[in-house]
Chain A
Amino acid sequence: MSAAPTLPAGPSAAADSPSAVRISGVSATLGRTQALRNVTLEVARGEWVALIGANGAGKTTLLRSVCGLVPFTGEIAVDGLIVGSARRREIARHLALVPQIPRTPPGMTVGEYVLLGRTPHIGYLASETKADRVAAEKALRQLALVRFAPRQLGSLSGGELQRVVLARALAQEAPVLLLDEPTSALDLGRQQEALELVETLRAEVELTVICAMHDLTLAGQYADRLALLDLGRLVATGPPRELLSEEVIAAYYGAQVEVIHRDGGVFVLPRRSRGR
C-alpha cells in the first residue's frame, strides 16, 4: 500500500461547521439485512465525494438515507437541517437527487419535467409562477437543453435524458447534489460528458456533490475524496491517489486490477489473472 487510508473523521459538534452534509453513526436495516452499520462521514461545502464499494456495499442506501427515503438510526444533517425532523420541503431546497434510473412520465415534455424541480419552492397547492419558469429556463440554458424544451422525454437518448434529469435537479436550486451512479447507463463519451457537466456546475453554482460510482478510474479523476463502503461499513476515506490501491481493490471488490499512477492521476485497469 502506498499510503494508509485515513480513518473516517469523528462527528463534529460545531453547529456552524463548514460541512454541507454530516452523517453521524448512521445504521439502517432493509428487510433482514443490515445495509448500513454506524457510518460517519462529513462532506465539506463544495467538496465532491464519491461513494465506492462493491455491489450491495450500501452506497445507494446511504444516499437514500440522506434523502430520508429509508428509516435509519443515528443522525444526518444537511446544511444544519436534521433529516427526518426538518420539513421535507425545507430539505428539498437544500438537497437534490439524481436517481440511477429516473422514472420518466410518458408524454411529459422536457420543459414540464424540469419545471417539476421547482416543487419545493412552490406552495403546497399552488401553481408555479413566472419566477419558477424563469428558473427552469435558466437550468435548461446551463445544460444547453433549450432546444429540447418542447421534446417528449421518451424521444431522448440516454445521455440527453441524464442531462435533463440534471437540469431538473439544478432547477431545484439546492446546494447539495446527490447522484446515484449517474453514468451507469451511458457510453464512454456520454459518461465523461455527464461528469464534466457536474464538475462545471459545481464550480459555477458552488455545488457539493456526493456521487455513488462504479467506475473507479472515473471516480478517481473527478472526486476530491473517495469513501469506501463494505457490507454497510465505511472502511476508509481519502484522496483517490492514496485510497485506490491493488490491495484495497482486491480486498473489497474481489477484483484483479492494475493501478497506474500517471500525470498525477490514478488509473484502475481490470486484469485477467490467468493469461490467454
Chain B
Amino acid sequence: MPQLKECPNCTSSFSCSADRPGCWCQDVHVPGEALDDLRAQLTGCVCRSCLDRFASEAAEARAHEAAGEAGTRVPGALVQVRGLSKLWLVGGVLLLLVAAAVALTVGPMPIGVGEVARSLLSHVPFLGVKSHLGPAEDAIVWELRAPRLVLAALVGGILALSGSSYQGVFRNPLADPYLLGVAAGAGLGATLVIAYAATGGSRGLLLPLAAFAGAVAGVGAAMLLGASLGSRSSGSLILAGVAVAAFMTAIQTFVQQRRSDSLREVYSWLLGGFSGSGWHEVGLASPYIAVSAVVLLLHRRLIDVLGVGDDEAATLGINVKHVRLAVVIAATMGTAAAVAVSGLIGFVGIIVPHTIRMLVSTSYRAILPLAALFGASFLVLTDVLARTLLSPSELPIGVVTAFFGAPFFALVLRSTREQSP
C-alpha cells in the first residue's frame, strides 16, 4: 500500500510508495548533487510538486552552468526552436552547389568541373579568366544544362515549399501542392491547347500559359466553392478542391478521348519533365516562383501558430482566415508556375517535407527554408538521373522521383520509427 505522508517542504499530504519499486518519484530525475543537497536539507520524501520544482531548478542551474562554461550565460537559451541551426542551412546550400556541379558536368558529353568553373568566371568582367570550352561545349553547358538545372531547382524548391505550407495550414500530413485542383486545372489547360491549338511555334508559348491559367482557375473555383459552403473549418476547402478536380478531370478526359491523336502528347506532358527547357521557361516561371517563395517563407512562424488549432490561434491574435488565404494563394501561384513549365511532377512536395520533419524538426520555421533547399537539390539530381540513365532517351522525371524517392522515404520512416517507438 502506498503510504500517506506529509511533505516536509510544503506540508501538503501526498501518497508515497518509496519502499517499493515503481514509485512515481523514480520518474522524476534530480541530478546527483542536487539530490544530495535536498537530502541534507530535508528528511524523508517530498511531494510530487515540490520534487518537480527541485528537479526543474536543478536542471536549470545545470543548463546555466553549461552555458557559463561555454562563455556567457544566456537568458532565454532554454527555449529554442529546433532545426534552425546554421549547420542545416549551410548543408542545404552545399548540397545544392554539389547538385548544380553534377548537373552541369554530367551528360553524353562529360565536361570537367574545372572547365565549367573557368567558363563561368570568363563571363565575369575584369577577371581575365579565359574559357577553354569550344562553342559547342559552351552551348551545351550554358544553353542546355544550365537553364535545365535552374528550372529543376526552382520547380523542386517551390513544390517542396508549397507542399509543406499546405501540410501546415491544413494540418494534414498528406496534403501535396496539387491538393486544391492545381493539377486538374493545369492538366485541362494543357490538354485543350494540345488538342485544339495549331502545332507550331505559338503552341510552345501557349502551353505554359494555358496550364498556368487552368491551375489558377481550378484553385480559384475550389476556394469560391469552399467559401460558399460557409464552414469555418479548412475541411470544406479540401472537399471543394476534390469536387473541382473531379469536374475538371472529367472534361480533360472527354477532350482527350475526342482527340485521341493528342493522347500521347498529353500523357507525356502530364508525366512532367524538363526536356527541351531553356532560359525562356526559366524567365516565364521565376517571377511567380520567387514571389511565392518569399511570401511563404515569411509566413513560416504563423504556420506554426496555426498548428495549435484555428480557435487557439485566433486567441493568440492571429487572423486565421487571412493567414490561410495568403499561404494558399502564394503556394498556388508558385505551384501553378512550376506546373506550367514542367508538367505534373509528383512526390517532391510530400517526400521532402516529411524527410525534414523526421530528420530535423517538426517546426515550420525550420521545415520551410530547408524544404526549399533540399527540394531544389533533390529535383536537380533526379533530373540528372532521368536524362542519363537510359541516355540518349529520357525517363519521365516523375518515374525517377518515385523510384528513388519511395525506397529512401521508407528507409527514413523505418529508422526514425525505430528510434522513437
Proximity bits, B50-63, A CB within 8 Å = 1, else 0: 00110111111001
Q: Are A105 and B307 in contact (CB under 8 A)?
A: yes
Near B by CB (< 8 A), chain A positions 104-123 give 104-109, 111-117, 119-120, 122
B307, A88: Cβ atoms closer than 8 Å: no
Instruction: Evaluate whether A116 and B77 lie within 8 angstroms (CB atoms) in the complex, with A108-B363, A122-B301, A128-B301 already known.
Output: no
Q: Quick one: given A88-B318, A144-B53, are A149 and B362 in contact (CB under 8 Å)? A: no
A/B interface sample: 10 pairs, CB < 8 A: A103-B312, A105-B307, A107-B357, A119-B305, A119-B313, A133-B76, A133-B79, A133-B80, A137-B76, A148-B56
A111 in contact with B317 (CB, 8 Å): no
Which residues of chain A have C-beta atoms less than 8 A from B313's C-beta?
Answer: 119
Against B, the Cβ 8 Å flags (1 = close, 0 = not) of A125-150 are 11110111110110011001111110
Which chain A residues numbered 42 to 96 have a C-beta less than 8 Å away from chain B? 64, 67-69, 87-93, 95-96
In the complex, the chain B residue whose C-beta lies closest to that of A104 is B308
The residues of B that contact A128 with a CB separation of less than 8 Å are 301
Closest to B312 in A: A99
Q: Tell me the minimal C-beta distance from B142 to chain A in angstroms.
A: 37
**Chain B residues at the A interface, C-beta cutoff of 8 Å:** 14, 29, 48-49, 52-53, 55-60, 63, 75-82, 171, 298-299, 301-302, 304-305, 307-309, 311-319, 357, 362-363, 365
Partner pick for B316 among A124, A126, A131, A172, CB 8 A cutoff: A172
B49, chain A: closest CB distance, angstroms: 6
* CB neighbours of A116 from chain B (8 A): 304-305, 308, 316
B76 A130 Cβ-Cβ under 8 A: yes
Contact in complex: A99, B311 (CB < 8 Å): yes
- Of the residues B53, B78, B298, B362, contact of A108 by C-beta under 8 Å: B362
Quote the shortest CB–CB distance from B175 to chain A (angstroms).
15
Question: What's the interface size class on A, roughly?
Answer: 35 or more
Q: Closest residue to A136 on the B side, CB-wise?
A: B79
Measured CA separation A131–B48 after assembly (Å) = 31
| Listed residue (A120, A125, A141, A172) with the most chain B CB atoms within 10 angstroms of its CB | A125
B56 with A141: CB separation less than 8 A: yes
Contacts of A88 in B (CB 8 A): 314, 317-319
One of A93, A102, A132, A193 near B312 (C-beta < 8 A): A102
- 4 nearest A-B pairs in the assembled complex, by CB-CB distance: A92-B317, A107-B362, A133-B76, A105-B307
Contact A147 B362 (CB under 8 A): no
Contacts A67-B314, A102-B312, A116-B308 supplied; 13 other A-B pairs, CB < 8 Å: A92-B316, A99-B312, A105-B307, A107-B362, A111-B80, A112-B79, A122-B301, A126-B301, A134-B76, A144-B49, A147-B29, A147-B59, A149-B78
Q: Which residues of A contact B (CB under 8 A)?
A: 64, 67-69, 87-93, 95-97, 99, 102-109, 111-117, 119-120, 122, 124-128, 130-134, 136-137, 140-141, 144-149, 172, 189, 193
Q: Tell me if B309 and A103 are in contact (CB < 8 A).
A: yes
**Nearest Cβ on chain A to B254's Cβ, whole angstroms:** 40
A119 B318 Cβ-Cβ under 8 A: yes
B393 to chain A, nearest CB (A): 43
Contact A111/B305 with A91-B317, A119-B317, A125-B299 known, Cβ cut-off 8 Å: no
Kindly report which residue of chain A lies nearest to residue B75, judged by CB atoms. A134
**Which residues of the partner chain B approach A113 to less than 8 Å between Cβ atoms?**
308
Q: How many A-B residue pairs have CB under 8 A?
A: 133
Docked pose: A59 CA to B21 CA in angstroms: 44
Chain B nearest Cβ from A69, distance in angstroms: 5
Most chain B CB inside 10 Å of its own CB: which residue of A104, A107, A122, A136: A107
Distance in Å: Cβ of B339 to nearest Cβ of chain A: 27
Closest chain B residue to A126 by CB distance?
A: B301
Asked if A147 contacts B305 (CB within 8 A), the reply is no
Residues A96 and B78 in contact, CB atoms below 8 Å apart: no
Residue of A nearest to B299 (CB): A125
CB closest chain-A residue, reference B63: A146
In whole angstroms, how far apart are the Cα atoms of A127 and B366 in the complex? 12
**How far apart are the CA atoms of A172 and B78 in the complex, in Å?**
18
What is the CA–CA distance of A96 and B49 in the complex, to the nearest angstrom? 24
Is the beta-carbon distance between A89 and B311 smaller than 8 angstroms?
Answer: no
Q: Contact between B56 and A112 (Cβ–Cβ < 8 Å)? A: no
A108 near B307: Cβ-Cβ < 8 Å = yes
Q: Are the C-beta atoms of A133 and B314 separated by less than 8 Å? A: no
Let me know if A69 and B315 touch, CB within 8 A.
yes
For A147, give its contact among B48, B55, B82, B315 (CB under 8 Å): B55
Contact indicator A141/B60 (Cβ below 8 Å): yes
Shortest Cβ distance from residue A222 to the other chain B in the assembled complex, whole angstroms:
16
- Cβ B76 vs Cβ A69 within 8 A: no
- Give the chain B neighbours of A144 by CB distance below 8 A: 49, 52-53, 56-57
Distance (Å) between the CB of B173 and the closest chain A CB? Answer: 9
Q: How far is the CB of B381 from chain A (nearest CB, A)?
A: 27
A127 touches B82 (CB 8 A): no
Closest to A105 in B: B307
Q: Which of B57, B59, B76, B316 contacts A117 (CB 8 A)?
A: B316
